[in-house]
Structure 1
């Protein structure tokens, strides 16, 4: 039986803390940041299954023949890029394994050391990964690899916690999504500057039980021990099936916000 997409009843709105007002995710130390990033060294198949695609306009924000997707994950953005030659890199061997299975020319590499020739790339994309990199070192590396007039595009798909109070509570339970304020700006260093920004709002429709799969693709779950995972599972089950009144198979619309920032060389 197919269920129609359903939005929760207003009577089920939970109490909640205000959304994040942070400019960017915060890490206690550089080592703490590196440890959290390493959570994605596993779980690539799950990530590929459940994470949403990116709006089609993203690939058009930087033109040219050769494009490179850095921190490409499993290729959620890479596969949609319209350029003639598309390359990708990611530090996770598991992510690169899935990238290769999609037929993408890729290698293990970091944003700070892209292992491509100077002035050889027309367009660089970085989706859902900029907060994991050393922004200053990466801006210098982008300046090295980009052709004259080349551009870089930084992209985030974020669950829109401002769309509905129930969504904010959901992201808190899943430890996902509520990490920066809507008007945030990514950290960028000269010789690059933000020359354009674009924002889009859309929805991903998932069955209620798939929200568990989405939770399992997050770094918090990937690095959690079994006791923590059991607690998270129980909390999400309670929220979905008791508090919200969903049933297995119920289709739920998850609101997303896409933020894209185009970087160009400083012209001043």
Structure 2
């Protein structure tokens, strides 16, 4: 058995300047992002809506991959994202969902108006103290904030190396607790393992959907693709058209808003 790689002990640690630079990669290219990024396991959705929220706001919603799942379980869902391009894709899929083009730290939505705030694949793009305060402002007392991530299961050695070649942003210990503000109680968490069938072309498309690739120079992009081709076809020995079950996991954290004083 291959040795499990040593994973960093810290996550969510990036300067505001670098965070904004990488996040700007998602102001365009929403269609390609939407085609390759996976949805979330039903168990993760059950975990999110366990308390049967009537109203929910999905912040950092992107193209609406999780929003669509949430809308099937909540009476009223609002979608918030700073990219109008992402929201345009979401609107085609979910015309009934209200969309707001705004940052998670300042949504402009009415306070005390939601049972649930969600961040799917997006909490690392915000200033955590400000986003926590904004989520608390939006929630009713005892409302819930849930944070979810799909990530490559880098506890498996070959997946860890693949993620590093892709420059995936999730090469860290999945059990690391995301930072929350004092407005929220100690979070509960759940984790679910699954696999996504991908061929080499889809591996490339998944890589292209990531912020590092989108912000890189053409020379760097070509180098990443060449390294992936070597690793996938020569080192791992997969035919380009072969579908390979790539291990993933979904990790979610939920926390109840403390009662206002």
Task: With the length of structure 2 as denominator, give the TM-score of the two structures.
Answer: 0.91
The residue that corresponds to 1:98 in the other structure is: 89
Contact 2:81/2:103, CA 8 A, preserved across alignment: yes
- Equivalent-residue separation in structure 2 for 1:195 and 1:169 (angstroms): 30
- Equivalent-residue separation in structure 2 for 1:67 and 1:265 (angstroms): 14
Contact 1:68/1:86, CA 8 A, preserved across alignment: yes
The residue that corresponds to 1:151 in the other structure is: 144
Instruction: Please give the root-mean-square deviation of Cα atoms over the aligned residues, in Å.
Output: 1.9
After superposition, give the CA deviation of every residue in 1:136-180 in whole Å (9 maximum; x if it has no partner): 111111111111221110011110011x32111111111115432
Give 1:253-268 correspondences, 5 Å limit: 253-266=245-258
Task: With the length of structure 1 as denominator, give the TM-score of the two structures.
Answer: 0.89
Deviates more, 1:81-90 or 1:188-197: 188-197
Instruction: Extract unaligned runs of 5+ from structure 2.
Output: none
The residue that corresponds to 2:106 in the other structure is: 113
- Equivalent-residue separation in structure 1 for 2:124 and 2:6 (angstroms): 19
Shift of 1:18: 3.3
- Equivalent-residue separation in structure 2 for 1:57 and 1:132 (angstroms): 25
Contact 1:69/1:125, CA 8 A, preserved across alignment: yes
Contact 1:205/1:252, CA 8 A, preserved across alignment: yes
Shift of 1:76: 1.0
Structure 1 residues 266 and 150, CA, compared in 2 at 3 Å: closer, same or farther?
closer
- Equivalent-residue separation in structure 2 for 1:222 and 1:181 (angstroms): 24
Are residues 1:57 and 2:43 paired? Answer: yes
The residue that corresponds to 1:5 in the other structure is: none
Give 1:26-175 correspondences, 5 Å limit: 26-27=13-14, 29-60=15-46, 61-62=48-49, 63-81=52-70, 82-102=73-93, 103=95, 104-162=97-155, 164-175=156-167
- Equivalent-residue separation in structure 2 for 1:118 and 1:264 (angstroms): 16
- Equivalent-residue separation in structure 2 for 1:49 and 1:134 (angstroms): 28
Are residues 1:22 and 2:9 paired? Answer: yes
Number of residue pairs the alignment of both structures matches: 253
SS at 1:209's partner residue? Answer: helix
